[in-house]
Homo-oligomer: A and B are copies of this chain.
Amino acid sequence: MNNAIPYKIYLTEEQMPKAWYNLRADMKNKPAPLINPGTGQPVTFEDLKPVFCDELIKQELDETTPFIPIPDDIRSFYKMYRPSPLVRAYCLEEKLKTPAKIYYKFEGNNTSGSHKLNSAIAQAFYAKHQGLKGVTTETGAGQWGTALSMACGYLGLDCQVYMVKVSYEQKPFRREVMRTYGAKVTPSPSDTTDVGRKILAEFPGTTGSLGCAISEAVEAAVTQEGYRYVLGSVLNQVLLHQSVIGLETKAAMDLYGIKPDVIIGCAGGGSNLGGLIAPFMGEKLRGEADYQIIAVEPAACPSLTRGVYAYDFCDTGHVCPMAKMYTLGSGFIPAPNHAGGLRYHGMSTTLSQLYHDGLMEARAVDQISVFEAAEEFARVEGILPAPESSHAIRVALDEAIRCRETGEEKTILFGLTGTGYFDLVAYEKFHNGEMSDYIPTDEELQASFATLPKIG
């Protein structure tokens, strides 16, 4: 054991990043622009103004400014739960008897339980700064909704969350956390919007979907004076805010002269992975260093490993702009037995471009092996991980075991995005042997690809 490196590296508050890093500024091949489905042209500031906050649109469209200062009020909020620890997994290394050195950046030490809070406070701040009354959003399992509720509760901003009805009913505890922070949580579909009423009339027994919740949240934003819609992943602005993860990680590693060989992150819409790798990928893009970067996705929802790189709708309701990304088709829904999260059909345009350019790899993993990794990790490192995060754990374990076999002393870094305290129904299924793997067939994917718009 190298005593020079502590179990947990904490930056001081002074050492925390003072600006977010905009990875796009260093990309030669910029991500393809969002397309307005009405005009078929790249979206403009004016196109997005009714839906998003002004400052966030500027960040969304800014491909050239490398560093964007973090406002003092956001830094103050960050100090409530950041810097997050960079953990040296001594116990895990010993258990695996691997010569590899394993590090993870742990983002779960806050009540929202995940990294989502990093962008939630930024988006809520800009809404408040613009003089808005409130924001609307959708949430599935509830991580993002909880994070946004916390941010809005802190700033005194109204927060309206459309929660997929099946989650609203099956995850009452997530709902109660949001209520504790003063958010108004509505099961979706609801009778509070036109689109909700229409869906309820057509499918009276429906338990909802994320696509429907998005449509309701967007309608609620554009029909109420002083409201905007906010989103927790996929968008470039979200990756920008999440760069705080990678910047802190790199600063902590630099303090001790640590250089990772492999960087691993789970990928749904891409917010965590994009944030974690940002400064490392920046060095890679500028030719200053090289890193092996691995995106890990569920085999049940394999957008990078089995999707196509094409323009697609970002939402199932087709109300949002279209994006060029690795996608399974906007109608794709993972098998019902999938419990690992990361269910989005597409992937951040920035990450899609980087993957397309061969700057990162992707692996798809089966969920039973993911929960096995989660349990092994929990017992040795003491943290009960979120199923999402456990995708990264799975591949980190695989890499560390490979090092044991080859004798390589690689330095492995992965992102531990959050805790699994609200995912114990999935853990229970795993313990009871009721969990199964399901990988979509080629035929199913082909049928889903057929729904892609003809563009680009």
Binding site for B on A (CB under 8 A): 6-8, 10, 12-13, 76-77, 79-81, 90-91, 109-111, 113, 150, 153-154, 172-173, 176-177, 179-182, 375, 378-384, 419, 421-422, 424, 427-428, 431
Contacts and interface: CB of A to CB of B under 8 A. Distances in A.
Contact of A380 (B111, B154, B375): B154
Contacts of A12: 6
Nearest to A382: B80
A417 to B, nearest CB: 15
A6 B79 CA distance: 8
Nearest to A381: B80
> Can you list the 9 inter-chain pairs with the closest CB atoms, starting with the nearest?
A173-B424, A7-B79, A176-B424, A153-B379, A421-B421, A111-B384, A80-B382, A6-B13, A176-B428
Nearest to A375: B180
A177 B431 CA distance: 10
Contacts of A172: 424, 428
Given A111-B419, A421-B421, A382 B176 contact: no
A195 B314 CA distance: 61
A113 B378 CA distance: 14
Given A80-B7, A109-B109, A379 B13 contact: no
Q: Is the interface of A mostly helix, strand, loop or mixed?
A: helix
Contacts of A419: 111
**Most central of A12, A173, A383 by chain B CB within 10 Å:** A173
Contact of A382 (B110, B382, B421): B110
Given A176-B431, A431-B179, A111 B382 contact: yes
Contact of A384 (B8, B90, B177): B177
26 contacts: A6-B79, A7-B80, A8-B79, A10-B10, A76-B90, A76-B91, A80-B381, A81-B382, A91-B154, A110-B383, A111-B378, A111-B383, A111-B384, A113-B421, A150-B382, A154-B380, A172-B428, A173-B421, A176-B424, A179-B427, A179-B428, A180-B378, A180-B384, A181-B379, A182-B379, A421-B421
A80 B104 CA distance: 12
A382 B77 CA distance: 9
A206 to B, nearest CB: 25
Contacts of A176: 424, 427-428, 431
Contacts of A428: 172, 176, 179
A373 to B, nearest CB: 12
A301 to B, nearest CB: 24
Given A6-B13, A6-B79, A7-B80, A382 B154 contact: yes
A13 B179 CA distance: 37
Contacts of A173: 421, 424
Contacts of A13: 6-8
A90 B7 CA distance: 28
Contacts of A424: 172-173, 176-177
B431 A180 contact: yes
A68 B110 CA distance: 33
A6 B427 CA distance: 38
Contacts of A154: 91, 379-380, 382
Nearest to A146: B384
